[in-house]
Structure 1
Amino acid sequence: MAKLIAGHQVRKVRRQAGLSQAAMAEQLGISASYLNLIERNQRPLTAQLLVRLTELYDFDPRALNAAAPGGGGDAIRRRLGDPMFADLEIDRTELEEWLAAAPGGAEAFARAYDRIGGGAAATAAGDDPLAAVRREVERWRNHFPDLDAAAEALADELRLSAGDLYAAIAERLRVKHSLTIRVLPVEVLPDALRRLDLHARQLQLSEMLDPASRTFQAAFQLGAIEARAEIDALVKGAGLAERAAERLYRRHLTSYFAAALMMPYARFLRACEATGYEVELLQRRFGAGYEQVAHRLTTLQRVGARGLPFFMIRIDRAGQASKRYAGASGAVLVEAEGRCPLWRLHNAFDRPGRIERDLVELQSGERWFTLARTVHPQGARAGQVSAEFVVGLGLTADLAGSLALARGLDLTGAATPIGLGCRSCTRPQCPQRSAPPAGRALLFNDRERGLSAFSFVED
């Protein structure tokens, strides 16, 4: 954090304190003209000034990420990727100038866009608790330092009491919270994987859970008790309008803590770097599931100890996304409502349990290295519907060279050309196209048939 562009946040602090630029500059020990340049994002906020802001105005440095208008430049850029804005050709420089000159306007645009459901969606974001929670998670880039610190301290304490994490959690629940863990037959818990019976002082777990899931559920319960203060503070700070959104957000935060307890930050990051982020090896080392490790990889953004910026998405066979975390990656692949069938993410369904690698290139020129593998949620019995999803992980191609799973792949070579769904993609003559791009006039030639069923104005 030696240099940080944070003009909007500094201006907000000054206005909340009721100070003119000259008055605040005098208190900070800088010139008014220099403060003016900082507020216009033409000068960085140095570490020394950040300390002074914290001392003088009770300013929380974590708000620098959280308070960015519209969620910051990457979030605004993802919104502007909507087909309705395709003809405007707003580049990164113009976007940065807009954020610097009119942060309030950028925030207003983001709220209006989200409220109408991303331009084309029928449900308003204000009525969708899932959308509200996703915005809050991405506002933090899916990294919650207070939860990580608390989970890491507790993990170190538990390691001293027992070598087996599940046994250590069970013992702590029993001794400190008077809760015993009881694994019950599926006939007793036919429709549940975890149940807290306060009358019997039992945490009841289904026998259908595998060891990794059993540990996670026990860690979830311990986190709900021992990290309650940290979770309460985050939920309160989110200011979510609906009770349903609060409950969903609390569940996400408790799950985050459980994963951080199973995969403590510093130890997990060291293992990632030592193994080349080899997901299946990390599974075995930390006794976790594939999806648990994949999600954890999106959270490694501790200041001074950052991991690689992965994104994660989980889809079903219909291409519907049930989980998606952009984290610090800024990946438009996560935010897009549609997905390109040319992306090998979908191919993983045909090869259960095997990791599919792909190098893809978007129309913008962005190149991503992605991994995909099937996962199966716990709990299905013979004769019942068994759910199946594909979990996709991605990283910009220029950062993927250190990955164990990228070995032998030319990351600068040919990549699969993909879009963000047919309605958003303007690649001409795509044989896989199922719909014309939004906002482009169709062309017809009765004497010719191209590779695609749709021809359209390209410029």
Structure 2
Amino acid sequence: MRKTFMGVRLRRLREERGLTQVALAQLLGISPSYLNQIEQNQRPLTVQVLLKLSAALGVDVQRFSEDDEARLVADLRDVFGSGAVLAGQAESVSQAEIRELAASMPAVGRTLVALERRCRDAEERAAAFAARLGEDRGQALRTQPMPYEEVRDFFYARHNHVAELDDLAERLFDAWSLQPGETGSGLAIRLESVHGIRVVRDERAFGEGDAGTLRRFDKGERVLRLSPLLAPGQQAFQMATQLAFLEAEEAIEGLAAQAVLRSEEARRLARIGLANYFAGALVLPYRRFLDSAERLRYDIDLLGRRFGTGFETVSHRLSTLQRPGACGVPFFFVRVDRAGNISKRQSATDFHFSRVGGTCPLWNVYEAFAQPGRILTQLASMPDGRTYLWVARTVSHGRGGYGVPGKTFAVGLGCDLQHAPRLTYAKGLKLDDPGAPTPIGAGCKVCERVGCPQRAFPSAGSRLDIDENSSRFEPYGG
């Protein structure tokens, strides 16, 4: 374990608890001078001291996590890239300064990230309203983020793990005597015997205007209608989602109330997101799923057959396995369409792509569209030097019938290189070869790589060296 200097965080914790250095040193069984050296970053915060802190003050050790620091560093790189331009900042901020800010003053760093996001949201909405001026004059400019962005940030802050719902789902899985891979029949019985709700696959209930609708609950008739296009595992997930609002309503409402959300739309989306999380936890119960994942070396197809679910559902669930004391590989999960729109983004780790200006075309999640149905692997290195193993594959959601357009996405699942040996997808890859990873970035507007063959436009905040004798950037023609 490398030396970890967390002096400012420790000092802030002590001040929050109203303790002097002498009092805290006595609680930890160390000398006041030693504690002072830790707070001044002259000595590292050791594992032993961290465990004593947890025992004496009930502190979550995640508060001193280096992964949290890395997540903040990634967010701050956006702030001092694109965000610096919004603020009119001319002076660049180095990577070393960003890391120092994240390590020493994380609260300040998080405040800067929140301010930059509000500024970015305001700019985007101002541009949108300017484009619509004349059609919609009466609508006031809103500066708050879109509801789905607020909900995404809520899950991101929790490392994509909701312990309360995981624990409840696991207890109910056992209490209802459900079986992995065969949960659908048990959930249908639960709905009818306890709640008086019949489950039917009704093609007539889903017309042309219901594209994307998979579940419809008729309260008056007490009937849950499921789309006939759903596979058995998808049916189980939709039944589990309905049961979430019936059996886990109190937990969901409590979690939604704790979230800092600005609108009723965001709160409704949060409740839906939490219900979906509960459904995944019920169909893929934590301990059974984690044990199978470790035994099968995180083979997504084998896990899908074991639990009767699809590639996307298994991939999404793998990104949630962060229970303290029983953690899986910390994954980053993403789903994109052919145009590069990210419709799902969940992270148990610090990796993220920029919120500004698209993602990197060298990322293998886009190559997946050229080889539909095939699992692609990629070692990819980011500008900060960290390397990741990525697994990508297309998934399709068809509407059925000739000439009816379907939906195709690419699903990506990534983890830090240090976890790669635990995955079956590492077979044949040169994990120890520094030249093997593909250099990618967080998106052209915030990527500082020079000489990239796929760069679409210069990095935000950088000086543009325009040479009339060069064809590097061609704003017209070409």
Q: Cα offset for 1:325?
A: 1.2
Amino acid at match of 1:233: G
Q: Cα offset for 1:24?
A: 6.0
Task: Please tell me whether residue 177 in structure 1 is matched to residue 173 in structure 2.
Answer: no
Task: Please tell me whether residue 98 in structure 1 is matched to residue 101 in structure 2.
Answer: yes
Aligned partner of residue 323 in structure 1, secondary structure: strand
Q: Cα offset for 1:263?
A: 1.0
Contact 1:114 1:125 in 2 (8 A): no
Q: Cα offset for 1:130?
A: 1.7
Distance across 2 between alignment mates of 1:220 and 1:40: 50
Aligned counterpart, 2:94: 89
Unaligned runs of 5+ in 2: 85-90, 127-141
Aligned counterpart, 1:375: 395
Deviations 1:43-94 (A, max 9, x none): 355334323324xxxx7x4xx648999x942332122222246932132xx5
Q: Cα offset for 1:290?
A: 1.0
Contact 2:76 2:109 in 1 (8 A): no
Q: Cα offset for 1:194?
A: 0.8
Aligned pair in 2 of structure 1 residues 316, 48: CA closer, same or farther (>3 Å)? Answer: same
Alignment length, in residue pairs? 439
Q: Cα offset for 1:195?
A: 1.1
Deviations 1:15-35 (A, max 9, x none): 566555556666777666566
Contact 2:76 2:113 in 1 (8 A): no
Aligned partner of residue 385 in structure 2, secondary structure: coil
Q: Which one of the candidate residues 99, 107, 110 is aligned to 2:110? A: 107
Contact 1:311 1:334 in 2 (8 A): no
Aligned counterpart, 1:188: 205
Contact 1:283 1:290 in 2 (8 A): yes
Contact 2:354 2:442 in 1 (8 A): no
Q: Cα offset for 1:444?
A: 3.9
Aligned pair in 2 of structure 1 residues 117, 38: CA closer, same or farther (>3 Å)? Answer: farther
Contact 1:79 1:118 in 2 (8 A): no
Contact 2:353 2:443 in 1 (8 A): no
Aligned counterpart, 1:389: 409
Aligned pair in 2 of structure 1 residues 434, 221: CA closer, same or farther (>3 Å)? Answer: same
Q: Cα offset for 1:14?
A: 5.6
Aligned counterpart, 1:278: 299
Distance across 1 between alignment mates of 2:376 and 2:143: 33
Aligned pair in 2 of structure 1 residues 442, 53: CA closer, same or farther (>3 Å)? Answer: closer
Aligned pair in 2 of structure 1 residues 37, 121: CA closer, same or farther (>3 Å)? Answer: farther
Aligned counterpart, 1:43: 45
Contact 2:399 2:405 in 1 (8 A): no
Amino acid at match of 2:75: R
Aligned pair in 2 of structure 1 residues 7, 134: CA closer, same or farther (>3 Å)? Answer: farther
The share of aligned pairs that are identical, in percent, is: 37
Contact 1:129 1:245 in 2 (8 A): yes
Q: Cα offset for 1:354?
A: 1.2
Aligned pair in 2 of structure 1 residues 174, 341: CA closer, same or farther (>3 Å)? Answer: same
Aligned counterpart, 1:117: 120
Question: How do residues 246-265 of structure 1 correspond to structure 2 at under 5 angstroms?
Answer: 246-265=267-286
Aligned partner of residue 144 in structure 2, secondary structure: helix
Question: Of the two structures, which has the highest relative contact order with CA contacts closer than 8 Å and spacing of 6 or more?
Answer: 2
Aligned pair in 2 of structure 1 residues 275, 150: CA closer, same or farther (>3 Å)? Answer: same
Q: Cα offset for 1:172?
A: 1.0
Aligned counterpart, 1:210: 231
Give the root-mean-square deviation of aligned CA atoms. Answer: 3.3
Moved more, 227-236 or 246-255: 227-236
| TM-score (normalised: structure 1) | 0.84
Distance across 1 between alignment mates of 2:172 and 2:70: 34
| TM-score (normalised: structure 2) | 0.81
Aligned partner of residue 75 in structure 2, secondary structure: helix
Aligned pair in 2 of structure 1 residues 366, 51: CA closer, same or farther (>3 Å)? Answer: closer
Q: Which one of the candidate residues 66, 76, 79 is aligned to 2:75? A: 79
Q: Cα offset for 1:106?
A: 2.4
Q: Which one of the candidate residues 356, 360, 364 is aligned to 2:376? A: 356
Q: Which one of the candidate residues 411, 414, 418 is aligned to 1:398? A: 418
Contact 2:320 2:348 in 1 (8 A): yes
Aligned counterpart, 1:431: 453
Amino acid at match of 1:324: R
Contact 1:298 1:311 in 2 (8 A): yes
Aligned counterpart, 2:131: none
Q: Cα offset for 1:109?
A: 1.3
